[in-house]
């Protein structure tokens, strides 16, 4: 298909570039929020702050689990918890930066964190409890971020892109926790190496992105 036919199929580019240039000069104090911003800014800032609280609670829960992991499988699992904590912190930073771009204020209040967060802070007694709680939290994050992405739709593509990249990471986290839970369930008390292998495999997997603190756009 040549370019002309392709462009006819898509239709003409609807916005006058002179109009875009004119609007770009208006309200420059608003930075990244241009007159073409089509979403409900107040709602977007609220849901992004909820996502921020969710991430911060996840950082704290994974950190707690990292330090409290005990028992025969604990070394590899604790390393996985620490890795996830660092990635959740990266997500929190990305969301906070987007809130600033949108002219809002990221809410880091410890008092409000638990009421805003979609996930819970559950300490768990055993290693198995901890992994299960982390899996539950990842599943909740996946559901709520999917809803946020649907809400953002094509009205705020930048926020949507950020949340989509984070969602892809949460899906991998859930898979990591599921694999650990299965490994512990199948071989608890017998084969420590199995858990170590799962951790090594998830760490080595190039799909995991290498630098986990920076969510990448899914291909
Ligand atoms: Fe996260
Ligand atoms: Fe996560």
Beta-carbon neighbours within 5 Å of ion ligand 1: 55, 88, 91
Does residue 46 belong to any structural domain of this protein? yes
Q: How far is CA 21 from the centre of its chain?
A: 34
- The confidence score (pLDDT) of residue 197 equals 66
CA of 166 to the centre of ligand 1 (A): 6
67 CA to middle of ligand 1, Å?
19
Q: How far is the CA of 89 from the centre of ligand 1 (A)?
A: 7
Tell me if 201 is assigned to some domain: no
12 within some domain: no
- CA 78 – ligand 1 centroid, Å: 17
Structural domain of residue 172, as residue ranges?
41-187
Task: Tell me, in angstroms, the distance from the centre of ligand 1 to residue 55's CA.
Answer: 5
Residue 113 domain-assigned (yes or no): yes
Q: How much is the pLDDT for 35?
A: 83
pLDDT tens digits in sequence order for the chain, 219 residues long? 444 545 455 666 667 878 878 888 888 888 888 888 889 999 999 999 999 999 999 999 999 999 999 887 799 999 999 999 999 999 999 999 999 999 999 999 999 999 999 999 999 999 999 999 999 999 999 999 999 999 999 999 999 999 999 999 999 999 999 999 999 887 665 555 556 666 777 776 555 444 444 444 333
* Tokens found for residue 78: 């604790």
**The two three-digit tokens of residue 73, written as one number:** 């499988």
Distance 132 CA to ligand 1 centre (A): 16
The confidence score (pLDDT) of residue 216 equals: 40
DSSP assignment of 144-213: HHHHHHHHHTTTSHHHHHHHHHHHHHHHHHHHHHHHHHHHHHHHTTT-HHHHHHHHHHHHH-GGG-SSTT
* CA pair distance 34, 116, nearest whole angstrom: 28
Ligand 2 centroid vs 197 CA: distance in angstroms?
Answer: 21
Contact 94, 162 (CB under 8 A): yes
pLDDT of residue 135: 97
Tell me if residue 123 falls in helix, strand or coil: coil
* Residue 3: inside a domain: no
Q: How many domains does the chain have?
A: 1
- Specify the pLDDT at position 38: 87
User: Which run of H or of E encompasses 24?
Assistant: helix 17-24
Residue 135 lies in a domain: yes
| Inside any domain, residue 204 | no
Q: What is the CATH classification number for the domain harbouring 120?
A: 1.20.1260.10
Distance 178 CA to ligand 2 centre (A): 12
CA–CA separation, 197 and 180 (whole Å): 10
Asked whether residue 91 is domain-assigned, the answer is yes
Give the pLDDT confidence score for residue 22 in this predicted structure. 83
Instruction: Look at residue 191 in the predicted model and tell me its pLDDT.
Output: 52
**CA–CA separation, 90 vs 113, rounded Å?**
17
């Amino acid at each position: 298909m040549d370019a002309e036919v392709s462009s006819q199929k898509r239709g003409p580019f609807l916005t006058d570039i002179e109009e875009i240039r004119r609007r770009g000069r208006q309200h420059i104090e608003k930075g990244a929020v241009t007159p073409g911003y089509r979403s409900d800014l107040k709602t977007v800032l609220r849901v992004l702050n909820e996502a921020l609280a969710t991430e911060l609670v996840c950082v704290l829960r994974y950190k707690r689990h990292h330090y409290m992991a005990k028992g025969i499988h604990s070394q590899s699992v604790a390393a996985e918890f620490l890795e996830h904590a660092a990635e959740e912190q990266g997500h929190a930073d990305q969301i906070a930066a987007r809130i600033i771009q949108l002219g809002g204020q990221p809410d880091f209040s410890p008092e409000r964190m638990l009421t805003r967060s979609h996930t819970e802070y559950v300490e768990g007694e055993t290693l198995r409890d901890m992994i299960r709680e982390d899996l539950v939290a990842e599943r909740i994050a996946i559901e709520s971020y999917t809803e946020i992405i649907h809400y953002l739709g094509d009205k705020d593509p930048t926020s949507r892109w950020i949340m989509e990249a984070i969602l892809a990471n949460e899906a991998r986290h859930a898979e990591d926790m599921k694999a650990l839970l299965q490994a512990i369930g199948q071989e608890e008390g017998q084969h420590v190496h199995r858990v170590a292998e799962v951790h090594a495999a998830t760490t080595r997997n190039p799909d995991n992105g290498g630098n986990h603190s920076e969510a990448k756009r899914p291909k």
